[in-house]
Amino acid sequence: GQNIDQPTEMTATEGAIVQINCTYQTSGFNGLFWYQQHAGEAPTFLSYNVLDGLEEKGRFSSFLSRSKGYSYLLLKELQMKDSASYLCAVLDSNYQLIWGAGTKLIIKP
Partner 1 sequence: GAVVSQHPSWVICKSGTSVKIECRSLDFQATTMFWYRQFPKQSLMLMATSNEGSKATYEQGVEKDKFLINHASLTLSTLTVTSAHPEDSSFYICSARDVGAGEYNEQFFGPGTRLTVL
Binding status of residue 1 toward partner 1 by CB under 8 A: no
Binding status of residue 72 toward partner 1 by CB under 8 A: no
What 3-state DSSP class applies to 76? coil
Nearest distance, CB of residue 34 and partner 1, angstroms: 10
Binding status of residue 93 toward partner 1 by CB under 8 A: no
Q: Which stretch binds partner 1 (CB under 8 A): 14-22, 59-67, 70-78, 96-104?
A: 96-104
HEC string of 23-35 equals EEECCCCCCEEEE
CA distance 29 to 14: 35
Within a 13 Å sphere around the CA of 11, how many CA atoms are in the beta-carbon half? 2
Binding status of residue 44 toward partner 1 by CB under 8 A: yes
Among 41, 52, 56, 77, binds partner 1 (CB under 8 A): 41
- Of 60, 61, 65, 35, whose CA–CA distance to 50 is shortest? 65
Q: Which residues bind partner 1 (CB under 8 A)?
A: 31, 33, 40-45, 48, 87, 96-97, 99-102
